[in-house]
Amino acid sequence: MKKQIGIIGSGTAGLQLAYALKDDFEVTVIHHRSQDEIRNGRIMSTQVHFGSTRARENRFSMPKWEDDHLLNSVHITIGNQKLFVGSLNEPALSVDQRLYYSYSMEDLDKQGVSFRMERVDKENTESLIEEYDLVIDCTGKSGPLFPFPIERDLSPFHFPQRKCITGYFLGIKPNHPLGINVTVLPELGEMFEIPAMTEEGPVTILFIMAIPEKELDAFKGIKDPSEFTNRMKGTTQKYFPDIYHRINNDQFALCDDNAYLQIAITPVIRRSYGMLDDKLVLACGDSVFLNDPITGQGCNLSSYCVEKLASTLLEYKDLPWDSELGKTYWNRTKPFVKQVTEWTNAMTQPLPEHVVQLLLEGAHDQAKADRIAEWFADPRKAHEAFFKTTIKNNS
């Protein structure tokens, strides 16, 4: 008989895990929002799946999305100076999570994965632990449900470093070449412009990362879609003129009334395994690896850890599922989690001088510009650029 795995959460981590595990184990996804609620509900995030994540989605045999809106480049502007457009080695893709999640749930259901609609509370985790051979906590930023210990050296912040303000808009002429457009306004925050696919067609995501209490933090108290749209237009006109000039005033609108979000995240990294009542419990995704969205790594890190977890479970298929397995999984993911986290945390602080220099050099050297674009696709390269040079400079 196949071992029974209960995955709590139907987000990036939970669904990718279900695909990766479904052929070898009896998988149940426990979730508290139905497909329809997800599909027709509020956006919870933005998302860019870089080449390595898209390759893993292929290896997990996940649904394929149309290739019409592939993102091949990263545009970098500091202040009002456009520095360069770097090319990505492999194209990235941004599909509205409302569509990606609901469609994947429908597809997994057809392929025999069980779905159980239930909001799991901390109080009723015991019965789940008894019921399944293994429970995996993929509850995202609202988790975890289990007391996974905090990794203090990777969790330096006690409050959010940015306010995340984002909406999915119609009526913006896409940038050219199609790509992710990053504008850094020193001491104020950042704007990420991301072309994305939604159920209704292509949109442009405008995603402001505002340093709290500075001028970009200008959306406090806004709870109405039209007020949000007007404020975004005004903020874009004042601070991001390149984007504003591509806005068609008659068409500029949210793609639907649920396509906006304001949130602030306190990053925290936890060890991804624990023993409860002598039984192993694991976690994957934001429930244990919660970073600020500033580097756009959350889905990519979740997916990386999914693959490590799935291969570890397969290796231990006929062995006891105990803390040894948990430790193996954690040791396999920790170096990458550390690199992503340290780079991401550094990006929320004033950029080090040597990084600013690298960005300026990218303006005159296409090979350097391309290497900087690759930081987002392979955060190990970003980590190397941020920290090796720092060590060299300091020594």
Ligand X SMILES: Cc1cc2nc3c(=O)[nH]c(=O)nc-3n(C[C@H](O)[C@H](O)[C@H](O)COP(=O)(O)OP(=O)(O)OC[C@H]3O[C@@H](n4cnc5c(N)ncnc54)[C@H](O)[C@@H]3O)c2cc1C
Q: By the criterion CB under 6 A, which residues form the site for ligand X?
A: 8-14, 30-33, 44-48, 119-120, 138-143, 145, 164, 166, 261, 263, 285-287, 293, 296-300, 302
Which of 236, 272 has the CB closer to ligand X?
272
Minimum distance of ligand X from residue 368's CB (angstroms): 24
**Counting beta carbons within 10 angstroms of the beta carbon of residue 269, is it exposed (0 to 12), middle (13 to 18) or buried (19 or more)?**
buried
Taking the complex as a whole, how short is the minimal distance between the CB of residue 283 and ligand X, in angstroms?
9
Structure tokens at 382: 């970003």
Nearer to ligand X, 258 or 389 (CB): 258
d(CA 211, CA 238): 16
| Shortest Å distance, C-beta 229 to ligand X | 17
The two structure tokens encoding residue 52: 């390595």
Nearer of residues 114 and 389 to ligand X, judged by Cβ: 114
Residue 10 or 52 with smaller CB distance to ligand X: 10
Of 187, 210, 385, 172, the closest CA to residue 292 belongs to 210
- Give the containing element (helix H, strand E) for 76: strand 71-78
CB neighbours (10 Å) of residue 199?
14
Q: List, edge to edge, every strand of the sheet that includes 134-137.
A: 114-117, 26-31, 4-8, 134-137, 279-283, 273-276
Q: In sequence order, which residues have a C-beta less than 8 Å from that of residue 344 and are 6 or more positions away?
A: 267, 291, 292, 294, 295, 297, 379
Q: Amino acid letter at 108? A: L
For the CB of residue 167, give the shortest distance to ligand X in the complex, in Å.
Answer: 11
- Between 193 and 370, name the residue whose CB sits nearer to ligand X: 193
Spatial distance between the Cα atoms of 182 and 194, rounded to a whole number of angstroms: 9
Q: Which is nearer to ligand X, 81 or 124 (CB)?
A: 124
Task: Read off the amino acid at residue 221.
Answer: G
Shortest Å, Cβ 319 to ligand X: 27
Closest distance between ligand X and the C-beta of residue 327, in Å? 21
Q: How far is the CB of 361 from ligand X (least distance, A)?
A: 26
What's the farthest any 2 CA atoms get from each other in the chain? 63
Nearer to ligand X by Cβ, of 44 and 363: the residue is: 44
